[in-house]
């Protein structure tokens, strides 16, 4: 039932429409500048609202454990992924893919938050901070693994590389914007927040619909490119997200009783980065093939999480509760 409800959600139907447009070779497209604006808007909106929630609830034990667990997941997942992938791929490709799956997707998170809103389920604003803090560790771990397995690397080069990539991860546009919006929302008063509510809340779903249409078009193109890469990358990007998502779900059950927080934690564990990590890997691991790790994260894992993963974890949580 939840899967059917999720598929009939207009935002997700527009995502499928974008995928279909590519398969039918339609000339439908969203202007690049409009796509960038919508991405910025969604990050500002979700970050600001998360900051407001955080300011109302204060810092609790649950929040601290959630942040620590997020960092732990972002550290362990890329290591596990690398050990699995290294058997079939070069060190550079294995590290780049591992970093992608250890990091998170802000768009998947926003979609899951929209799903919770559709189901009228509340979630804590601190989950925004958990998402933001999970971006950087996985990127750093990916580079560390690469430096360890790459021959003829000096310590100085490793240190410079790590410093550079950590700075890039923290100042990445998506991470910087959502953290900044979170802080602004945290310090804004309720009256100030209500003043911009028509912008941060009322038009959110409309922009999400158009953005997911654009993501559907992009995913459809990446999906086509993924087919030529063989069965192994396809299996990894389809199966492993569910394993990571279930691990995150089990961890979340020990941290919180809030179904919304548990679902978001699950989807953070299952999602893969296709924005922050590719931008970082382009400079840190030029040997890695973006035609491999980008289609895996965006062409396979993203739609699997959006169409199947979110209602799947939600159904499990409904049974548990």
- The per-residue pLDDT for range 90-116, each reduced to its tens digit, is 898 999 999 999 989 888 998 898 889
- For 46-97, the DSSP string reads HHHHHHHHHHHH---HHHHHHHHHHHHHHHHHHHHHHHHHTTTS-HHHHHHH
pLDDT value at residue 298: 85
pLDDT value at residue 6: 57
Q: In which element (H, E) is residue 133 found? A: helix 126-133
Region 70-82 average pLDDT: 94
pLDDT value at residue 36: 80
pLDDT value at residue 225: 65
Which of 93-102, 229-238, 286-295 comes out lowest in average pLDDT? 286-295
Q: What is the DSSP letter of 207?
A: H
Region 260-289 average pLDDT: 85
More confident site: 214 or 258: 258
Cα(150)–Cα(129) distance, integer angstroms: 33
Q: Out of 146-155, 223-232, 302-311, give the one with best mean pLDDT.
A: 302-311
More confident site: 91 or 219: 91
pLDDT value at residue 237: 94
Interacting residues of 24 by C-beta distance below 8 A, sequence separation 6+:
none
pLDDT value at residue 154: 47
User: What mean pLDDT is reported for the chain?
Assistant: 83
Residue 5 pLDDT > 80: no
pLDDT value at residue 272: 94
Please, which pLDDT band fits residue 260 given cuts at 50, 70 and 90?
very high
Region 54-75 average pLDDT: 86
More confident site: 132 or 78: 78
Interacting residues of 19 by C-beta distance below 8 A, sequence separation 6+:
216, 217, 219, 220, 223, 303
pLDDT value at residue 160: 47
pLDDT value at residue 257: 93
pLDDT value at residue 175: 67
Cα 67 off chain centre by? 16
What percent of the chain lies above the pLDDT cut of 90? 28
pLDDT digits (tens, 9 = 90+) for 32-58: 888 788 878 887 887 788 788 777 766
Pick from 143, 124, 165: which is nearest to 255 by CA? 124
What percent of the chain lies above the pLDDT cut of 70? 87
CATH for 32-320 is 1.20.1530.20
pLDDT value at residue 239: 96
Q: How far apart are the first and last CA of the chain?
A: 17
């Amino acid at each position: 039932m939840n899967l059917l409800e999720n598929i009939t959600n207009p935002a997700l139907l527009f995502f499928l429409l974008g995928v279909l447009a590519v398969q039918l070779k339609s000339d439908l497209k969203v202007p690049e500048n409009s796509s960038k604006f919508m991405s910025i808007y969604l990050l500002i909106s979700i970050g600001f609202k998360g900051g407001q929630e955080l300011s109302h609830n204060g810092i609790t034990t649950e929040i601290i454990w959630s942040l620590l667990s997020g960092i732990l997941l972002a550290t362990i997942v890329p290591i596990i992924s690398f050990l699995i992938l290294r058997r079939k791929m070069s060190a550079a490709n294995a590290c780049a893919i591992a970093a992608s799956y250890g990091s998170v997707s802000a768009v998947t998170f926003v979609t899951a938050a929209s799903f919770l809103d559709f189901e009228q389920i509340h979630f804590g604003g601190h989950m925004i901070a958990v998402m933001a803090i999970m971006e950087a560790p996985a990127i750093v771990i990916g580079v560390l693994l690469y430096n360890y397995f790459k021959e003829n690397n000096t310590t100085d080069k490793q240190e410079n590389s790590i410093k550079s990539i950590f700075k890039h991860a923290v100042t990445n546009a998506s991470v910087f914007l959502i953290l900044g919006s979170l802080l602004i929302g945290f310090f804004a008063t309720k009256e100030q927040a209500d003043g911009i509510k028509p912008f941060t809340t009322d038009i959110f779903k409309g922009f999400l619909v158009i953005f997911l249409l654009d993501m559907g078009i992009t995913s459809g193109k990446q999906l086509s490119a993924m087919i030529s890469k063989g069965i192994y990358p396809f299996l990894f990007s389809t199966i492993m997200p569910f394993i990571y998502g279930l691990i995150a779900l089990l961890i979340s059950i020990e941290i919180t009783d809030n179904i919304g927080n548990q679902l978001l934690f699950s989807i953070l564990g299952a999602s893969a980065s296709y924005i922050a990590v590719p931008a970082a890997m382009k400079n840190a691991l030029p040997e890695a093939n973006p035609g491999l790790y980008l289609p895996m994260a965006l062409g396979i894992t993203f739609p699997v999480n959006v169409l199947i993963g979110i209602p799947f974890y939600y159904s499990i949580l409904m049974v548990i509760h």
